[in-house]
A = this chain, B = another copy of it.
């Protein structure tokens, strides 16, 4: 860390901070600039150190040097992680595509749709059995019955099941039926849930919180990795900004950034990322061009009859077009699909 003292800091205050740096187990090195003194604290930065140095009297600011995540970092593991779950594979040359409805509505719906999606080239099936809904008056999902419908859809289609788990005590049940445990954007910093998913050892799809920085996103992944579960996929699904023509703002520069900093696969969800069905196909193509390892797309036979998220859901016919175009883009960036 770099402790920047105020120009008016006294020698006593400087000495106090030097001692404080030593107390933290770091080695202080004092630099006398033209306008102020700077103390470089050499050694391993640990979380919370910045917070204990900042309140020191005479301190102007404290700058961290090292990234706060370790296991998610390419510094620790330079080779890319490939997450596999049944037919689904994310992080290799092939681009994985997870498609399906927002909510599982009935067995016939999900089985029929899964068969269509598999034919069109999807490798994973999404569908919510436990639904985190903004309003308590919205449909909350079919819960365990929904999980059983998903399992039936896997049997019929061969697709890997990706479904959300909302609380630590649901993890065992969801893990019994699903191939990938999804942690939703609203739960990205639900640490008890992250730990429970980590303990399960199951492949995890971690969605970026809508106001999470890259450091916070990778530290959330770190919670899962730290429990000994290396099967983590990162999913960019859009952030909250002032923009009002889309439901969220989909910032695709996070894709090459995450792939530079981390070895984990990066998936993009253009459905939540835009909230508008018409914008899903172009943003899906853009995601692949930006280097994404996979897509997660909401598809429903009849979006007007979908119990949730109809506005951002495309039909199987549009999904077929999307796949055809996505294949061309994948080829253009030396990937397959």
Chain A residues in the interface with B (C-beta under 8 A): 2, 4, 7, 20, 29, 31-36, 38, 40, 42-44, 46-48, 50-56, 63, 65-66, 68-69, 75, 132-139, 166-170, 186-187, 189-193, 209-211, 213-216, 219, 222-223, 226, 239-246, 249-257, 260, 273-274, 276-279, 282-283, 285-291, 303-311, 313, 325, 328-329, 331-333
Contacts and interface: CB of A to CB of B under 8 A. Distances in A.
Contacts of A288: 289
A97 to B, nearest CB: 16
A55 to B, nearest CB: 4
A211 B210 contact: yes
20 contacts: A4-B65, A33-B42, A38-B65, A47-B137, A51-B308, A55-B311, A56-B304, A132-B189, A132-B191, A167-B168, A167-B190, A240-B242, A245-B254, A245-B257, A252-B286, A256-B283, A289-B289, A325-B332, A325-B333, A328-B332
Contacts of A307: 48
Nearest to A130: B192
A254 B242 CA distance: 13
B191 A190 contact: no
B253 A283 contact: yes
B186 A189 contact: yes
A253 B246 contact: yes
Contacts of A244: 213, 244
A47 B243 contact: no
Given A51-B306, A132-B189, 5 more contacts: A31-B42, A135-B222, A213-B245, A252-B286, A329-B332
